[in-house]
Structure 1
């Protein structure tokens, strides 16, 4: 594999790991699952603070909702595939942002 392919794979894995960690941490602290419904509180400071959280936690939330929808609502496999590609791309982009931040700080070589 080329170095770019390894970099993209690492970004993808890092993005999903970060999304899972954020969502699990939120669930442990708030005692409820994180979801896109956090944005429905209007223009409150709490709602504005959830936007960065959801930007990085979205891949996990998308996959959780998709797999649950597949089991409960019997969604078609094409829908699950599209949601998986979307969550993967989102995860790769958020992982890339984290990797760039770690490089800028000097924690990643």
Structure 2
């Protein structure tokens, strides 16, 4: 496996791990699952605070909603595959940001 592929795989996994940790922490703190409805919670200031959270938590939310939709609503497999690709690309991008932050702080070489 090439170093670039390994780096991309690492960023993908970091992105999903950070998303899962954020959503699990939110659910433990607030006692309700996180979702894109956070943007519709009334005040504009709350929505603006929710945007950075959702940028990094979105891959987990997308996959959770996709799996629930497949089980409950019997959605087509094509929809599940497209949502998985979208969540994967999103996780790769957010994971790349996290890895760059870790490199900038000197935690990861």
Instruction: Provide TM-score, normalisation by structure 2.
Output: 0.97
Aligned equivalent of 1:89: 89
Aligned equivalent of 2:54: 54
Aligned mates of 2:15, 2:96 — CA distance in 1: 8
Q: Deviations over 1:45-101 (max 9, x none)?
A: 221111000000000000000000001110000000000000000001000000011
Aligned mates of 1:52, 1:14 — CA distance in 2: 17
Aligned mates of 1:101, 1:18 — CA distance in 2: 13
**Which stretches of structure 1, 4 residues or more, deviate above 4 A after TM superposition?**
none
Instruction: Provide TM-score, normalisation by structure 1.
Output: 0.97
Aligned mates of 2:4, 2:105 — CA distance in 1: 21
Gaps of 5+ in 1: none
Q: Please, what is the CA RMSD of the aligned residues?
A: 0.8
Gaps of 5+ in 2: none
SS of alignment partner, residue 34 of structure 1: coil
SS of alignment partner, residue 60 of structure 1: helix
How many pairs align? 109
2:32 matched to 1:26?
no
